[in-house]
């Protein structure tokens, strides 16, 4: 078992979810994102809970504060374990989200800059004047200051956040690829799982390197072994 790996359920059907759970029996954490949730909704959550799995609801809420508060309330009632909000939604939005789960075990995780974005894109398309690393740091600092329990960032910003913000928060990173599964697809800022853990990540989100492997359980075990060998 490993509580450091979150397997992304980037699939379309409940049968797919059942198959992946069966193929990855040692996996504790699963990510339910917009693809699966839009297709299967609560059914995917109920199935994972029935199987005793932990749920990372990755819908990246980003709206006016009261709308996000109501969405987080609904997610809290589903008893997910962690959920994401966009840090770009601002301090009041994140504060409302954090207050909504106060007294429960649900954790609010703030997404900083998506791993698909480059520095050129955040400047030209998003209008963010900061350098990419500064943008991640400033958004993370703001989110944590108003009650977020953790941060999502690319592996390239792990060292910066740990150096500047310490260790008293969860740091979750997608954008990791084992050296033996080097495809990066639509992610621009990537690193191997063991490298990310060494730098200070608490949890890693992986989907394709496990789900597209000929033997998903063997791929999962291999990643866990590589992580443990470096600790």
Confidence category of residue 178, pLDDT binned at 50, 70, 90: confident
155 or 187: which carries more pLDDT confidence? 155
- Has 212 been annotated as catalytic? no
Domain count, the chain: 1
The structure's pTM equals: 0.92
Residue-level pLDDT at 1: 56
Confidence category of residue 230, pLDDT binned at 50, 70, 90: low
- Average pLDDT over the chain, rounded to an integer: 92
Structural domain for 158, as ranges: 2-229
Which residue out of 60, 69, 95, 107 is catalytically annotated?
60
Which CATH number is 137's domain given? 3.20.20.70
Q: Name 133's Cβ contacts closer than 8 Å, sequence gap at least 6.
A: 156, 157, 160
pLDDT at 155 over 70: yes
The DSSP element (H or E) to which 20 belongs, if any, is helix 14-23
pLDDT at 186 over 60: no
Residue-level pLDDT at 180: 78
Residue-level pLDDT at 167: 97
Residue-level pLDDT at 231: 57
Average pLDDT on 208-228 reads: 87
CA distance 31 to 10: 8
Residue-level pLDDT at 184: 47
Kindly list the distances between the CA atom of residue 10 and the CA atoms of 31, 32, 40, 80, 205, in Å, as whole numbers in the listed order: 8, 8, 12, 17, 11
53 or 177: which carries more pLDDT confidence? 53
Kindly list the distances between the CA atom of residue 66 and the CA atoms of 73, 81, 93, 94, 97, in Å, as whole numbers in the listed order: 10, 21, 7, 10, 9
Write the pLDDT tens digit of every residue in 43-62: 999 999 999 999 999 999 99
pLDDT at 138 over 50: yes
Q: What tokens does 100 get?
A: 């909504």
């Amino acid at each position: 078992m490993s509580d450091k790996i979150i397997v992304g359920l980037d699939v379309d059907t409940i049968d797919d979810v059942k198959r992946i759970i069966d193929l990855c029996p040692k996996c504790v954490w699963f990510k339910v994102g917009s693809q699966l949730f839009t297709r299967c909704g609560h059914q995917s959550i109920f199935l994972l809970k029935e199987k005793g799995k932990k749920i990372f609801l990755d819908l990246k809420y980003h709206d006016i504060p009261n709308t996000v508060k109501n969405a987080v309330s609904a997610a809290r009632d589903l008893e997910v374990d962690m959920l994401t909000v966009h840090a770009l939604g601002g301090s009041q939005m994140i504060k409302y989200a954090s207050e909504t789960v106060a007294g429960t075990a649900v954790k609010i995780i703030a997404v900083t800059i998506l791993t698909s974005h480059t520095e050129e894109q955040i400047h030209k398309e998003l209008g963010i004047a900061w350098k990419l690393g500064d943008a991640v740091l400033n958004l993370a600092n703001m989110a944590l200051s108003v009650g977020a329990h953790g941060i999502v960032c690319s592996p390239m910003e792990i060292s910066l956040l740990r150096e500047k913000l310490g260790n008293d928060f969860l740091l979750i990173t997608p954008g990791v690829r084992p050296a033996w599964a080097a495809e990066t697809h639509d992610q621009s800022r990537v690193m191997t799982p063991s490298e990310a853990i060494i730098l200070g990540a608490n949890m890693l989100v992986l989907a394709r390197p496990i789900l597209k492997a000929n033997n998903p359980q063997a791929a999962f075990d291999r990643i866990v072994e590589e992580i443990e060998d470096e600790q």
